[in-house]
Amino acid sequence: MAFYDLTKEQRLTVVDNIYNHLLADLKKSQLTHTLDYFKDEDTYVRKSAYLALGKMYFAETSLQASIIKMLDALLLQPDFKIRQTVINAAGEIGKKDFGIVQHFFDQSLFDTHHSPRNAVIGSIKKMGEVNPKPVLSWAKQYLHHTDKEIRREICHGIELRGRKYPQDILPLLQELQHDKTARVSNTLVHVIGQIAYKKGCLSIVIEHLKTWQNKELVIAALAEIIDVHSRYKDFAALTQEQAKQYIKENY
């Protein structure tokens, strides 16, 4: 039976069992239960496993080194679902302690399967939102990587921090303004739109865009910002017309 086919009480029991099984594996230096949970076909079972491990890392401090060692071993597994779950677990740890898990992201940016790479993007988002300084510093080194997909993934990954604090990521985004690859420039325009519609953000974004040299890209970004204020009208601080007027008066 799938995780969300269970009752709430049954799901809580499953989550407790996962935590206890992972803890038992760590104490016995084995992977018996961990492998099963990390490769489970049910996304929510895998999610429960990586959330449990992230919680355990900070609750069971004597096991921290063992947890990192276990994740290192699991990252070598051929099943992409296991590697994906490793990255998500590392992301939970990296919300508070990025340095200890940085090497997982350095390696998995180049994973041969898209799922672990997507987990890197998701983890950068959740880590960068609450632990921005080391995460953004790490991300910056990949902004000019020769692989366009790496540049795109980093651009996408830093987006979430920018939704509340656009000033934190705008200097990084600016470094991509002359990127010649459409997938990167399209992602850049998308991210600029995503960080401009919440309260107080549009003015910060517009002020920074004034300093950009690539005016063609800026024009595309302004059009995206206006469009986002329509698509996200239920969440945007301004109406689309107000956004248009602000841009007209201030850019």
Q: Quick one: which of 15, 94, 10 has its CA closest to 47?
A: 15
Mean pLDDT for 222-227 is 98
Give 105-152 pLDDT, tens digit per residue.
Answer: 999 999 999 999 999 999 999 999 999 999 999 999 999 999 999 999
If pLDDT is split at 50, 70 and 90, which confidence band does 1 have?
low
Name the residue ranges covered by the structural domains of the chain.
1-141
Mean pLDDT for 13-40 is 95
Residues near 88 by Cβ (< 8 Å), separated by ≥ 6?
Answer: 46, 47, 50, 119, 122, 123
Q: Quick one: which of 53, 98, 97, 57 has its CA closest to 74?
A: 53
CATH 1.25.10.10 correct for 1-141 = yes
